[in-house]
């Protein structure tokens, strides 16, 4: 096929791409609900407020969505990529991805792929670097995790914000001040893990989707992460609670004992060099699959 015919083919299918606006969010919400994704309209609004979106239209109707979040000079994440079921397999997902990657570049890009999306992302140059397990269910009262001397949990205050942003940046390998400030402000509980009165980790509990979400969870080690998660789970006992946990954390089995059963797996994929984290704090649970 020569170039002219290839372009004609793109035009002939009547699909156009444009920037997402706030007016698209109701439609985007309807599309994710159709897929049985849990996002509320508020979850879409937050995602849109922090990122840049693209929609594909055919005959004036939105047929695909996707967003990118340019967290710092080096890294972006991509997510909420949806193509209406009747329109799949026509390279619309591919075109949405190309537009989002153009927005994100020259940053390296991280995403969490569903089984359906993985092939598309691989063909675009994304590489698998890990796995995240989605756990959810009615939280059980959690036994407290005993900490070594010098370590303690306490509620976060507004004075902690800079420290929490710095912990997130070290653990995630991306500097995300707007995200952390927004999530802390929204959280019903924000808890800090101190060592000798210096913050070494933190975790947030907030409304998301069908219930509540624990994340991000940042801690120096698995015991610290367990203390943070058990504390928030205990506070939320009896409520529908979700956590997206890094499989390499080794905590997936333990999470089940808190009432949050594994319901799905997504593949961690990166375009370019993966984000580096130093020997310090680690990200045990994601903020959300879209934000990373």
Ligand X SMILES: CC(C)(COP(=O)(O)OP(=O)(O)OC[C@H]1O[C@@H](n2cnc3c(N)ncnc32)[C@H](O)[C@@H]1OP(=O)(O)O)[C@@H](O)C(=O)NCCC(=O)NCCS
The residues that touch ligand X, with contacts defined as CB under 6 A, are 35, 81-83, 88-94, 113-114, 116-117, 119-120
Close Cβ partners of 203 (under 8 Å, ≥ 6 residues apart):
190, 191, 193, 214, 215, 216, 217, 218, 219, 225, 228, 229, 231, 232, 285
> CA 269, CA 20: separation in Å to the nearest integer?
24
CB atoms under 10 Å from CB of 146, counted, come to: 8
Nearest to ligand X of 129, 144 (CB atom) = 129
Distance CA 211, CA 220 (A): 28
Judged by CB, which is closer to ligand X: 94, or 108?
Answer: 94
Complex with ligand X: residue 117 or 259, whichever CB lies closer? 117
Beta carbon nearer to ligand X, 114 or 182: 114
The nearer residue to ligand X, 120 or 161, going by C-beta atoms, is: 120
Give the chain's length: 292
CB of 231 to ligand X, least distance (A): 31
> Shortest gap between Cβ of 218 and ligand X (angstroms)?
23
Taking the complex as a whole, the smallest distance from the CB of residue 60 to ligand X amounts, in Å, to 19
Shortest distance in whole angstroms from residue 66 CB to ligand X: 8
**CB of residue 264 to ligand X, shortest distance in Å:** 11
Contacts of 279 (CB under 8 A, 6+ apart): none
Residue among 118 and 195 whose Cβ is closer to ligand X: 118
Nearer to ligand X, 13 or 42 (CB): 13
CA–CA separation, 52 and 218 (whole Å): 26
Within 10 Å of residue 276's Cβ, how many Cβ atoms?
A: 8
Minimum Å gap between C-beta 240 and ligand X is 22
Minimum CB distance to ligand X, residue 99 (Å): 12
Phi, psi of 207 (to 5 degrees): -70, 135
The CB-nearest residue to ligand X is: 93
Q: Between residues 58 and 94, which has the closer beta carbon with respect to ligand X?
A: 94
Could you tell me the smallest distance in angstroms from the CB atom of residue 177 to ligand X?
25
């Amino acid at each position: 096929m020569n170039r002219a015919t290839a372009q004609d083919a793109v035009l002939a299918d009547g699909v156009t791409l444009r920037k997402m606006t706030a007016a698209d969010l109701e439609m985007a919400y309807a599309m994710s609900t159709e897929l049985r994704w849990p996002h509320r309209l508020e979850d879409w609004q937050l995602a849109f407020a922090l990122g840049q979106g693209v929609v594909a239209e055919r005959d004036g109707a939105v047929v695909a969505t996707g967003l990118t979040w340019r967290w710092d000079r080096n890294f972006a994440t991509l997510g909420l990529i949806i193509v209406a079921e009747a329109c799949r397999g026509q390279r619309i997902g591919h075109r949405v991805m190309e537009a989002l990657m153009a927005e994100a570049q020259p940053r390296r890009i991280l995403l969490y792929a569903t089984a359906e999306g993985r092939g598309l992302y691989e063909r675009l140059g994304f590489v698998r670097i890990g796995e995240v397990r989605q756990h959810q269910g009615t939280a059980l009262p959690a036994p407290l995790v005993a900490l070594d001397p010098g370590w303690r949990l306490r509620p976060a205050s507004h004075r902690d914000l800079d420290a929490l942003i710095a912990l997130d940046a070290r653990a995630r390998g991306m500097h995300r001040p707007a995200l952390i400030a927004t999530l802390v402000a929204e959280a019903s509980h924000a808890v800090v893990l101190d060592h000798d009165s210096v913050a070494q980790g933190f975790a947030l509990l907030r409304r998301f989707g069908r219930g509540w979400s624990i994340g991000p969870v940042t801690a120096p080690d698995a015991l610290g992460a367990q203390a943070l998660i058990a504390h928030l789970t205990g506070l939320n006992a009896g409520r529908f609670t979700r956590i997206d946990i890094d499989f390499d954390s080794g905590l997936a089995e333990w999470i089940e004992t808190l009432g949050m059963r594994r319901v799905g797996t997504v593949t961690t994929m990166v375009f370019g060099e993966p984000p580096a984290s130093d020997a310090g704090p680690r990200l045990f649970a994601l903020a959300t699959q879209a934000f990373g």
